[in-house]
Amino acid sequence: MEYIALGRTGLKVSVAGLGCGGFSRLGLGTGNSEADAIRLVREAFSLGVNLFDTASVYGTEGVLGKALKVLPRDQVVITTKAWFPSSRVRSAVDRVVASLDNSLKELGTDYVDVFQLHGVSPEAYDDVREVLAPVLLNQQAKGKIRFLGVTETGSSDPEHEMVQRAVEDEVWDTVMVAFHMMHPNARTLVFPRTTANRVGTLIMFAVRNIFSKPQRLKAELRELAAAGRVPRWLGHAPNPLGFLLHEESGGAASLPEAAYRFVRHEPGADVVLFGTGDVEHLRANVAALLKPPLPETDRRLLAKYFGQLVGVGLDPPTYMPGLSLH
């Protein structure tokens, strides 16, 4: 495993982080048992993964806590989140503390390494900064939180408006950002400022459905080609991103591998989060994230075809916060 310092936090974190939400929720979302999920977390740790990202809304804090119980606390980095509808941020002072305390109880720990406000929309940011941040700083002073973070809403904030403001404040030590091969604008809008301000980045949406489900990719490219946003041939090719698959000459063996390698080696991308409920899939994801960058020719083609795209492939699970309540 490879490790880096997460921004100004100084936390030594694995470049691969296990996301406990997404569509799989450690396998709980696809029919696996709690025991299976516990084995998955411990296998991830055995592979060198030391950052585990969860949230109250995922319903996985409890199982993550059980999985980590046998591990030395100082060898794992736990990040979790609390979410509130945008219209109710000002009334959430007591609830954010209650959410933190419940997360600590579920996780079986006295402190959270990074406590994040989940899915903060641009219109809610001022209230979050003025009302909730001081509450969290107070909890940090009590030792319940080591560092503070915010996560963006992804599909409803494709220009990263909230994060662009947050990284200029001195409150947030980390941000969670959507970034992938067909939604690369964080490269210019976010990463230069997180690097300059030493804000750690957690990367979401590296693969998700668009690169793991061929039919989803083909449907998306047909729509983009019809709208003139990508070359017409990409909308009709049987294997539109096949130019990335040439393992014998340094390319990727699969599209998910290409997607992980693309994100992993982007300057400014610290931890790439991935989700899974399957041990073999877990091992494949970690292996992909530890491979070298994609060949320069492939990266140039990705920039040529998709460098201008914004907001593509950011479909969150239906239970995710921010989909209906604002």
* Whole-angstrom distance, CA of residue 153 vs CA of residue 120: 6
- In the chain, domain spans: 3-212+266-294
Taking CA atoms, 70 is separated from 19, 75, 146, 234, in Å, by: 20, 11, 21, 49
Strand partners, 14: 3
Q: For residue range 173-201, what is the model confidence (pLDDT) as tens digits?
A: 999 999 999 999 999 999 999 999 999 99
In the block, residue with structure tokens 């030391």: 50
CATH 3.40.50.150 is held by the domain 3-212+266-294 = no
Q: Which helix (H) or strand (E) holds 112?
A: strand 112-117
Both tokens assigned to 303 = 């920039």
Percent of the chain with pLDDT over 90: 90
Burial classification of residue 289, based on how many CB atoms lie within 10 Å of its CB (0-12 exposed, 13-18 middle, 19 or more buried) = buried
Q: Which helix (H) or strand (E) holds 147?
A: strand 145-151
The answer, yes or no, to whether residue 59 has pLDDT greater than 50, is yes
Both tokens assigned to 294 = 């994609």
What is the 8-class DSSP label of residue 294?
P
The answer, yes or no, to whether residue 87 has pLDDT greater than 90, is no
Q: For residue range 10-35, what is the model confidence (pLDDT) as tens digits?
A: 999 999 999 999 889 999 999 999 99
* Whole-angstrom distance, CA of residue 326 vs CA of residue 221: 30
Q: For residue range 262-308, what is the model confidence (pLDDT) as tens digits?
A: 999 999 999 999 999 999 999 999 999 999 999 999 999 999 999 99
Using 50, 70 and 90 to split pLDDT, how confident is the model at 323? very low
Residues 6 or more apart from 110 whose CB is under 8 A from it?
Answer: 104, 143, 144
